[in-house]
Amino acid sequence: MIARKFLALGSILAALSTGLAAGAVRAQEVAPNDLLLATLWTQRSVEYRANALTVFALARLRLDEALADKSWTAAPGEQKGDFQNLPPAVILDVDETLIDNSLYQAWMLKNNQTFSTKTWNVFCAAQVSRAIPGAVEFSKYADSKGVKLFYITNRDASTEKDTRENMQKLGFPMGGNVDTFLMQNKQQGWGSAKSSRRAVVTKDYRVLLNVGDNFGDFDDRYRGSEADRAKAFDSDLAYWGKQWLMLPNPTYGSFDTATYGHDFKKPLAEQRKAKWDALETWVGPKQ
CB-side neighbour CA atoms (13 Å) of 96: 24
pLDDT at 98: 98
Residue 1 pLDDT more than 60? Answer: no
Domain hosting 198: range is: 32-249
Q: What is the C-alpha separation between 195 and 208, in angstroms, rounded? A: 16
The span from the CA of 217 to the CA of 97, in Å, is: 10
Angle, CA 119 vertex, CA 246 and CA 274 arms, to 5° = 60
60: nearest Cα among 130, 142, 126? 142
Report the distance separating Cα 94 and Cα 247, nearest Å.
Answer: 11
- What's the mean pLDDT when you consider all of the chain? 92
Residues 6+ apart with CB under 8 A from 190: 182, 183, 184, 196, 197
pLDDT of 11 reads: 56
Q: What is the percent of the chain with per-residue pLDDT over 70, rounded to a whole number?
A: 90
Choose among 264, 258, 186, 181: nearest CA to 215.
Answer: 258
β-partners of residue 156 are 184
The identity of residue 41, as a single letter, is W
Q: Would you say residue 18 has pLDDT above 70?
A: no
CB 90 within 8 A of CB 208: yes
Whether the Cβ atoms of residue 140 and residue 111 lie closer than 8 Å to each other: no
Instruction: Read off the pLDDT of residues 44-96 as tens digits, 9 standing for 90 and up.
Output: 999 999 999 999 999 999 999 999 999 999 999 999 999 999 999 999 999 99
Tell me, rounded to whole angstroms, the distance of Cα 4 from its chain centroid.
61
Q: Are 114 and 84 in contact (CB under 8 A)?
A: no
Give the pLDDT confidence score for residue 150 in this predicted structure: 98
* pLDDT for 4 beyond 90: no
In a domain, 146, yes or no: yes
Average pLDDT (256-284) is 95
Residue 2 lies inside a defined structural domain of this protein:
no
Predicted TM-score (pTM) of the model is: 0.89
Q: Confirm whether 218 is domain-assigned.
A: yes
- pLDDT tens, 186-210? 999 999 999 999 999 999 999 999 9
Say if 76 falls within a structural domain.
Answer: yes
263 inside domain: no
Q: Provide the CATH number for the domain around residue 138.
A: 3.40.50.1000
272 occurs within a structural domain: no
> What's the pLDDT at 21?
53
Assigned domain for 89 exists = yes
CB 247 within 8 A of CB 52: yes
Domain count, the chain: 1
- Domain membership flag for residue 232: yes
Query: For residue 6, is pLDDT > 70?
Result: no
Q: Is the pLDDT of residue 20 over 90?
A: no
Q: Which candidate, 9, 152, 146, places its Cα nearest to that of 74?
A: 152
Is the four-CA dihedral 27, 29, 34, 36 of positive or negative sign?
negative
